[in-house]
Amino acid sequence: STDGGRNLSLESIPMGLPMSDPSAWATAMNNLGMAPMGMTGQPLLPDFDPALGMMTGIPPINPMMPGLGIVPPPIPPDMPAVKEIIHCKSCTLFPPNPHLPPPATRERPPGCKTVFVGGLPENGTEQIIMEVFEQCGEVIAIRKSKKNFCHIRFAEEFMVDKALYLSGYRIRLGSSTDKKDTGRLHVDFAQARDDLYEWECKQRMLAREERHRRRLAEERFRPPSPPPVVHYSDHEGSVVAEKLKDDTKFSEAIQTLLTWIERGEVNRRTANNFYSMIQSANSHIRRLVNEKAAHEKEMEEAKEKFKLALSGILVQFEQIVAVYHSASKQKAWDHFTKAQRKNISVWCKQAEEIRNIHNDELMGIRREEEMEMSDEEIEDPSEMKETEESALVSQVEALKEENDSLRWQLDAYRNEVELLKQEQGKASRDEDTTKEQQMKLLQQALQGMQKHLLKVQEEYKKREAELEKVKEDKLKIETLLENLKEQESSTSRVCACSQEKECPVEKTLSNSPVKSEREVLLVGIISTFLHVHPFGASIEYICSYLQRLDSKICTAEVEVLMTRLQNTFRQELSGVGASLEKRWKFCGFDGLKMT
């Protein structure tokens, strides 16, 4: 039967269990709210292979895995997911609607072997859960809750993926249609401490194995240590002397000889043996020179062969380029098609570039040969003979010098103690002399600093004298101005008698050194400030305080006012030299007695 036009052509997987009546299956699916499926018994899918128990095109499951043919393997993402009905002994699992989105899952915890299963029937038991999920793999433990969900722990991680395949299936116990016997499975990853612990142990084991593997690889690629050099003895010395005479063993023997000499094995007893070994090592110089000459000759021959081959190649390149140029002439060029002309022009450019590169290389070789020939022409054959004779003479002289140096070394060993004593005495004397030199340098530096300080003090005193002169000039000018003002006031006394009687205060103010109400306020504030500072204060300090009250007040105005009131304020000098400082003090109480 059909329900609202929704038909799912799904076929159950063939099982060894007996199948139920098709009409009963349709009724049960209608009760569960699912679209009924055709149960004609005919294969609805043409690619279905009944011998395999699964659809072709899906990778087969391992035959040793439990539940073969019951739980399908994971379907690749590029294939359409087609889920089938799953029949068990006690229950039946119906697939979800394929048009619905896949069920959501949480992020997979590391080493997850435990799944959460929700939506179980109320009448479901652990046996039924085991029957359904043991098809996915070996179940270690089931923890069932009373609220229709449980946690299942598998033996391996890949079994969890098989269990997630059952998410969304509808489960029905037997042939009952009761709600307590039906449910919709929801399978998701679960986070378990045992899984995390086993995963961490496995990761640590893999890290240990990786470190061990890396250590083995490093040891395999590490270069072997050189064999230890034996200590010198007469027997070993004779063996090394024989090896030095052999060309094949010369490198090994010369390394042993070098190690012995650096160790200090040479003494008065073994000096002759070492000298003979050094002499045999020197005899190999002529052999090495001859080998070098032979290799140079081979290199010259190879250069000649290369030059001849390169010149032949260049001739062939010239011929090919000539062919391209002749083909580019109008007599033949008009008969080619456009594509052929394009190819010929491209080939011609490529051939010319390669020819130019090879030609430059050949010219470079010829230039080098010409330079070598010019160097050889400059050197005369007589000079060459003289250089060879001088080289032989220098070798003889070098051997003599080596003999003398060996003798001198023997004498030096005898005089080592005396030299050490002399060096110790010289070192002590040198230390005394260095200390004296350092003392002299320090004294000179101190004298220079003292002279500099004296110069600075003299300059400071000169500047102070100049400042005092300037202040005295200012005071004289101010007194002159006051006298002029007094003369002007005396001329206007007759006219201002009535004003003086009415305003005696203004008269006293004009005759007094304080000339305005602003200066009276300044005198009062400065007196209060200096009364709080009994040890005095500098003019800058006083002005900084006054400028907080009025930013227009300047230092010169305050200093002139204070110098005018000598009975109220007194200036004192404190300190010596560079620390000389001028301080103003309040002396109003003493000045009151004097006036």
Cα–Cα distance, 571 to 587 (Å, whole number): 10
Position 588 scores a pLDDT of 80
- Name, in order, each residue with C-beta under 8 angstroms of 548's C-beta and a sequence gap of 6 or more: none
- Check for a shared fold between 86-202 and 517-593: no
**How much is the pLDDT for 155?**
92
Beta bridge partners of 141: 153
Q: What is the pLDDT of residue 591?
A: 72
Query: Is the separation of the CB atoms in 530 and 586 below 8 Å?
Result: yes
Q: What superfamily does domain 86-202 belong to in CATH?
A: RRM (RNA recognition motif) domain (3.30.70.330)
pLDDT averaged over 10-residue windows placed end to end, the chain, 595 residues: 36 37 45 43 40 39 42 50 82 89 89 93 89 91 90 94 91 84 92 92 95 92 80 89 87 88 88 90 88 91 88 88 88 87 90 88 82 62 60 74 73 71 76 85 88 88 88 88 80 55 48 76 87 85 87 85 85 76 83 71
Q: Could you report how far apart the first and last alpha carbons of the chain are, in Å?
A: 135
Q: Please give the pLDDT value at position 252.
A: 86
Helix ranges restricted to H, 328-415: 330-333, 338-378, 381-414
The 3-class SS string of 235-304 reads HHHHHHHHHHHCCCCHHHHHHHHHHHHHHCCCCCCCHHHHHHHHHHHHCHHHHHHHHHHHHHHHHHHHHH
Please classify residue 73 by burial: count the beta carbons closer than 10 Å to its beta carbon, then call 0-12 exposed, 13-18 middle and 19+ buried: middle
How, if at all, do strands 170-173 and 182-184 pair? antiparallel
* Pick among 1.10.10.10, 1.10.3720.10, 3.40.50.1260, 2.30.30.40: CATH of 517-593: 1.10.10.10
Annotated domain spans of the chain: 86-202, 234-298, 311-368, 517-593
